[in-house]
Chains A and B, each alone.
Chain A
Amino acid sequence: DAKTTQPNSMESNEEEPVHLPCNHSTISGTDYIHWYRQLPSQGPEYVIHGLTSNVNNRMASLAIAEDRKSSTLILHRATLRDAAVYYCILRVNAGGTSYGKLTFGQGTILTVHP
């Protein structure tokens, strides 16, 4: 299975943008890039996903490199509530169904300073 590499921790100030990097140099052509985050004492929460093109939703943006070997999760204005562990996950395209298992690494611990 293709693996992801993320920095162990990052820090940001409130209301500033945050760029969380993820390397996945062995990604296959049909693997989707998913991001989840886990707030303290809660279960993981879906953030965003993409295949090739950059994606935006109400929570964040996902920028995917042209060669797909890396991606960046962008939080446009960090808030204290964004302090969490962020996981970059590759979802295997299991044919017509997508119940490919989520393989969690250790993720990036994001600290947001007031």
Chain B
Amino acid sequence: NAGVTQTPKFQVLKTGQSMTLQCAQDMNHEYMSWYRQDPGMGLRLIHYSVGAGITDQGEVPNGYNVSRSTTEDFPLRLLSAAPSQTSVYFCASSRIQGFQPQHFGDGTRLSIL
């Protein structure tokens, strides 16, 4: 059981480049979300989805796009990377009904020069 898988684990970008962070889960979870974590801080919600075709903004959505075409995948796109987006990105998933715990991936460490 792989759980939540994030790729890549590390990435270095130049300012202005674009890239997609991948997130996949094999637990048939309806809810998926993306967080970013800056040094010494807690996680902040970027975007979330409650099912295929449904996405919404979290606390810090600017500069990021998401889509949810399947239950399993929830990619996060940076259209034009900025140094302020240097962070560790975590993807999470859970069932919707009841207070089900969220399962997190191991993160993608992104540096933007």
Q: Which residues of A contact B (CB under 8 A)?
A: 32, 34, 36, 41-46, 49, 87, 91, 96-99, 101-107
Contacts and interface: CB of A to CB of B under 8 A. Distances in A.
Contacts of A101: 33, 45, 48, 58-59
Contact of A98 (B33, B43, B90, B96): B96
Interface residues of B, number: 30
Contacts, number: 62
B92 interface: yes
Contacts of A46: 101-103
B110 interface: no
Contact of A49 (B59, B92, B101, B105): B101
Given A32-B99, A98-B96, A42 B106 contact: yes
A87 B42 contact: yes
A49 B58 contact: no
13 contacts: A36-B102, A41-B106, A43-B90, A43-B104, A91-B99, A99-B94, A101-B33, A101-B59, A102-B43, A102-B92, A103-B45, A104-B44, A107-B42
B53 interface: no
B102 to A, nearest CB: 6
B100 interface: yes
Nearest to A97: B96
Nearest to A96: B97
Given A97-B97, A101-B33, A104-B43, 6 more contacts: A34-B101, A43-B105, A46-B101, A97-B50, A104-B44, A106-B42
A6 to B, nearest CB: 10
A72 to B, nearest CB: 19
Interface string B31-71: 10101000011111100101000000011000000000000
Interface in B65-94: 90, 92, 94
A44 B106 CA distance: 8
A31 to B, nearest CB: 10
Contact of A44 (B31, B97, B104): B104
